[in-house]
Structure 1
Amino acid sequence: MVSSLGKGIAAASLAAILEARGLRITMMKLDPYINVDPGTMSPFQHGEVYVTDDGAETDLDLGHYERFVRTRLTRKNSVTTGRIYEEVIRKERRGDYLGGTVQVIPHITDEIKRCIDAATEGFDVGLVEIGGTVGDIESLPFLEAIRQIRTERGPDQAIFMHLTLVPYIAAAGELKTKPTQHSVKELRSIGIQPDILLCRSEKPLPDGERRKIALFTNVHEKAVISCVDVDNIYKLPLWLHSQHLDEIVVERLRLESQVKPADLSEWEAVVDAVEHPVDEVTIAVVGKYVDHQDAYKSLGEALRHGGLRQRTKVRLKWLESEQVEYEGAAALSGVDAILVPGGFGDRGFEGKVLTAKHARENRIPYFGICYGMQAAVVDVARHIAGLTGANTTENDRRCEHPVIGLITEWRTATGEVERRSEESDLGGTMRLGLQECRLKHGTKAREMYGKDVVAERHRHRYEFNNRYRTQIEDAGLVISAKSMDDLLVEMIELPDHPWFVACQAHPEFLSTPRDGHPLFIGFIRAAREHKAGGRLLKEVSA
């Protein structure tokens, strides 16, 4: 009924419980905006662009899904209005509709239903989240499509859950149910009767308000679920299970014969690790979107996951990279480690280079991701290799030493540099999705992963310029991972530094609270050791 209520986390939490009961679960996001995908949308407006194994650029809710369930999602699991209309128009141009008039009903709604079928086929349960709010004109085709699905499949094959707000009015000292009544009334006016209500509120829903909501919305009282604010989102599966939400879903979908009792021991261990840390570190995250931290949603979670594996509380100090440009190293004081994340464009890039230089010279643990790796390469090129004017061609196409550039700028059949001036299509030249790389023996990267070949998700356009490999390696930088064809530099590190590691991929996309990620676990361990003055710390298992 309003945005930012946490539909994605609530849906993912329910999925986690159903998965813990032995069901095969998948999840899907239907977004009402007309963009084909969020790949070219501003992080300030839309937050993080999450990337799947098959290279789809999706809504950040898919990150929540994958952190809560084991299922690996694909482009099938993220659909926008733009993508639906694009496909319908393609079919119309091809003549698939035999000259008929193309309309929202049935053509748009049929395409939505086809996408839902494709994404959920082969699973016991598919949770489909519809973005936007009740009453939005943009969401109406999606709502009409699910109304049709319910009619076609029946109430034991499709159920409706509505996430709604029960605000607490401090001046009156009361929870108010009227907004929930009106949003359900709006849904019922278009033919959708919710089976379950998730009532978001600051405090648990009293029995009186629960009965009132049930009476006015025609929802069974036990299906009015109190969904309170929690101080740790990983408590939500436990909370919803205590409210018997999974039992209601299993009963309504007639899955009793397929399920076992919920085993939430892994989630209990996660919550216990959060609530009973034995150590604490402060990590500086130096980026260009830190005023809108949803732009780094997976990154912040991955850092905390790295701490969970060691019962370490991770405090994040968000710093604008431009602030480092203005204030210098003083902006980085009082931290135990530094991370420079991905990004695009020249704004704040010099601050990222200065950050890498400060971490390198002062032996502070440094983790560079994507643009953070490129900033570290530029630092080493300028200040150790003696390549004055070294830069990335993303920011300076005519720099003297383009140590970072598009592959087309440094790789040709003759091996000569090809300096192109034309602009590339922002949405068409990205290296996206899961890519394998081979790790070099004797490196920190190989030690942390514990295997020779790993796969990580990518989202970038610019690469390490191979014409500078020898000079950069002679300066002391180790190339610790390369693509399987030996062409692309995937990871770098400094061997004479306590922990200076950077990668071109985005490992945060594969981190989960139950498993963590080797690089983030290693990074947080290095932060703990730096805080302790370099003394080796005994590992504490979560």
Structure 2
Amino acid sequence: MARYIFITGGVVSSLGKGLMAASLAALLQARGYRVRIRKFDPYLNVDPGTMSPYQHGEVYVTDDGAETDLDLGHYERFTGVSARQSDNITSGRIYQTIIQRERRGDYLGATVQVIPHVTDAIKSFAQAETDDLDFVLCEIGGTVGDIESLPFIEAIRQLRNDLGRGNSVSIHVTLVPYIAAAGELKTKPTQHSVRELAALGVTPDVLVCRCEHPLPSSERAKIALFCNVPTAAVIPALDAPSIYAVPLQYHGEGLDREVLRAFGIDPGLESPDLSRWSDIVDRLTNPEGEVTVGVVGKYVGLQDAYKSLNEALIHGGIANRVRVKIRWIDAELFENDDSDVAAALEPCDAILVPGAFGERGAEGKIASVRFAREREIPYFGICFGMQMACVEGARNVAGIEAASSTEFGATEEPVVGLITEWMSASGLEKREADGDLGGTMRLGAYPATLAGNSVVASIYGAPEISERHRHRYEVNTGYRDTLEQGGLVFSGMSPDGMLPEIVERPDHPWFVGVQFHPELKSKPFDPHPLFASFIAAAVRQSRLV
């Protein structure tokens, strides 16, 4: 039977529960255990798919087509375990399921209540598909004391009793603030947070204390005394130079050892093999060069909107042992002035246009594509970035001045258009133009066939690939011949030949556009081949300047 680790947060939000969960899972993996991480989100949205990136950050898409919390990206990047739809649940999805059951009469006339119906649904979710695992880590979103998280805390309390002694551990992540005027770290917020959690029936076994200054042994002992945990189970968590140094840092503080001891498992005297994490940190700390990548985006005011993209570029740097400096550029800033384009992009060794929705910033992205094409600067277009590369090629190379996307409104030259049906693993998928927005895009992993003599085939080293999608517009294959005559080759297609997946310019130093999101599958110890190749091209470009 799988053992459970429940992770809660207190005092304030954004303490890094997700990063801690991912790091602990990586440490347990290094000890030979099989792990999976799950995220409980208390908000009432069914999933984050319809939420603004400024509200929630990026939407992380799984192979099976779930739109999930960005923390699942951390989980995958640190463990290499592919996330599934069953690894992220929201209050909205739970209530939606319960209400649907009530409408069908599944409860046989019973009064439907938070206890037991909502808490039972949460427990069922936590325990689903866990037969082949040693540890299941369950992160509770939000902060203890939030009204919306109370059903999840209650479900944890019940589940700990259901599982029996020794089969679950509670980790509470808190803040130990530093008061500059007093020159002291203050433990009282942690004490209050633990007391509030205990009042709800959940007593922590391990405390992870975020702090800006080293936590003295006297303060660790004080926290242990008032929070009823061993002193060794009070784990300091200081800021790290890189998120990929965090597993090493937590291991140094004894997190994995204390969690195993809390389960009654002897951690042994030998340390787990963390050599791959040491190598990653060494490559980040001791680079052999630096490149600048200009990311021309729509949501650059919040970098969490491009979290996986940011990390994938870093992974490309790890693969090439160079530091990647990302220059975030708002596409709207140079929509109408070519001189602004040059000023913003000339310092860049490569240019990337990421995914987005809507017309705002589109002309600035098209201008960026043109700059990269004409100046022969490495260009990488992802999803919307591929579509804008096709619009730019149609306008400025093929002479179709009115080329546009139906996403922006009616157009005489729909180089990009709404996809209304496609084949998935479950059969024919159909969508209506005025249908629901949530969960209705082409989502999840789909295969693609690569042209044998293409640049991307040489990058992947395989004739067929599988990548994750999240979009509802596609490049119109009716323009394929015209675009290819202008040098923009369709080098990757869906297996039925109906949907363009990749375009490239073979006569350019590095020019690739992809309809999918390769950043979602990149990992620090296994950088995505497209990002590794893109950064290698940026390195070559930097040496030309």
Contact 2:449/2:495, CA 8 A, preserved across alignment: yes
TM-score (structure 2 length as normaliser): 0.94
Indicate whether 1:406 and 2:418 are aligned: yes
For residues 237 and 257 of structure 1, the distance between their equivalents in structure 2, rounded to whole angstroms, comes to: 16
CA 1:393–1:156: 2 relative to 1, 3 Å: same
For residues 253 and 278 of structure 1, the distance between their equivalents in structure 2, rounded to whole angstroms, comes to: 44
RMSD of equivalent CA atoms: 1.8
Indicate whether 1:157 and 2:167 are aligned: yes
CA 1:409–1:14: 2 relative to 1, 3 Å: closer
Task: Map residues 167-316 of structure 1 onto 2, 5 A cutoff.
Answer: 167-256=177-266, 261-316=271-326
Could you report, residue by residue, the CA deviation over 1:74-102 in whole angstroms, capped at 9, with x for unpaired residues? 01000000011111112212222111111
The one-letter code matched in structure 2 to 1:312 is V
CA 1:516–1:409: 2 relative to 1, 3 Å: closer
Matched residue SS, 1:152: helix
Contact 2:470/2:517, CA 8 A, preserved across alignment: yes
Matched residue SS, 2:457: helix
Indicate whether 1:54 and 2:64 are aligned: yes
CA 1:259–1:37: 2 relative to 1, 3 Å: farther
Q: Number of residues paired by the alignment?
A: 525
Contact 1:410/1:465, CA 8 A, preserved across alignment: no
Deviation at 1:255, TM superposition (A): 4.3
For residues 177 and 119 of structure 1, the distance between their equivalents in structure 2, rounded to whole angstroms, comes to: 39
Gaps of at least 5 residues in structure 2 are 1-9, 424-430
Moved more, 213-222 or 318-327: 318-327
Matched residue SS, 2:220: helix
Question: Which residue in 2 is equivalent to 1:394?
Answer: 407
Deviation at 1:119, TM superposition (A): 4.7
Question: Which residue in 1 is equivalent to 2:386?
Answer: 373
Deviation at 1:154, TM superposition (A): 2.2
Question: Which residue in 2 is equivalent to 1:462?
Answer: 473
For residues 82 and 31 of structure 2, the distance between their equivalents in structure 1, rounded to whole angstroms, comes to: 18
Contact 2:260/2:267, CA 8 A, preserved across alignment: no
Indicate whether 1:148 and 2:161 are aligned: no
Matched residue SS, 1:120: coil
Matched residue SS, 2:111: coil
Question: Which residue in 2 is equivalent to 1:537?
Answer: none
The one-letter code matched in structure 2 to 1:240 is Y
CA 1:255–1:483: 2 relative to 1, 3 Å: farther
Contact 1:28/1:119, CA 8 A, preserved across alignment: no
Question: Which residue in 1 is equivalent to 2:512?
Answer: 501
The one-letter code matched in structure 1 to 2:454 is T
Matched residue SS, 1:394: helix
The one-letter code matched in structure 2 to 1:145 is A
Indicate whether 1:361 and 2:374 are aligned: yes
Indicate whether 1:450 and 2:469 are aligned: no
Question: Which residue in 1 is equivalent to 2:544?
Answer: 533
For residues 271 and 219 of structure 2, the distance between their equivalents in structure 1, rounded to whole angstroms, comes to: 30
Contact 2:73/2:308, CA 8 A, preserved across alignment: yes
Matched residue SS, 1:192: coil
For residues 353 and 369 of structure 1, the distance between their equivalents in structure 2, rounded to whole angstroms, comes to: 13
Deviation at 1:168, TM superposition (A): 1.0
CA 1:485–1:94: 2 relative to 1, 3 Å: same
Question: Which residue in 2 is equivalent to 1:417?
Answer: none
Percentage identity across paired residues of the two chains? 57
TM-score (structure 1 length as normaliser): 0.94
CA 1:95–1:480: 2 relative to 1, 3 Å: same
For residues 260 and 495 of structure 1, the distance between their equivalents in structure 2, rounded to whole angstroms, comes to: 52
CA 1:260–1:119: 2 relative to 1, 3 Å: farther
For residues 263 and 95 of structure 2, the distance between their equivalents in structure 1, rounded to whole angstroms, comes to: 31
Question: Which residue in 2 is equivalent to 1:415?
Answer: none
Gaps of at least 5 residues in structure 1 are 412-419, 535-542
Contact 2:22/2:75, CA 8 A, preserved across alignment: yes
Contact 2:169/2:262, CA 8 A, preserved across alignment: yes
Moved more, 457-466 or 251-260: 251-260
CA 1:410–1:305: 2 relative to 1, 3 Å: closer
CA 1:151–1:163: 2 relative to 1, 3 Å: same
CA 1:100–1:458: 2 relative to 1, 3 Å: same
For residues 254 and 193 of structure 1, the distance between their equivalents in structure 2, rounded to whole angstroms, comes to: 17
Matched residue SS, 1:138: helix
Could you report, residue by residue, the CA deviation over 1:238-285 in whole angstroms, capped at 9, with x for unpaired residues? 111111211122222244499984111110100000000001000000
For residues 422 and 148 of structure 2, the distance between their equivalents in structure 1, rounded to whole angstroms, comes to: 45
The one-letter code matched in structure 2 to 1:243 is E
Deviation at 1:429, TM superposition (A): 3.1
The one-letter code matched in structure 2 to 1:400 is E
The one of 328, 338, 344 equivalent to 2:351 is 338
Deviation at 1:442, TM superposition (A): 1.7
Question: Which residue in 1 is equivalent to 2:327?
Answer: 317
Could you report, residue by residue, the CA deviation over 1:91-149 in whole angstroms, capped at 9, with x for unpaired residues? 21222211111110011000000000015342100100000001000000000000111
The one of 461, 486, 493 equivalent to 1:475 is 486
For residues 324 and 312 of structure 2, the distance between their equivalents in structure 1, rounded to whole angstroms, comes to: 10
> Which segments of structure 1 move beyond 4 Å, counting only runs of 4 or more?
255-261
Contact 1:290/1:320, CA 8 A, preserved across alignment: yes
Indicate whether 1:512 and 2:523 are aligned: yes
The one-letter code matched in structure 1 to 2:183 is G
For residues 492 and 258 of structure 1, the distance between their equivalents in structure 2, rounded to whole angstroms, comes to: 53
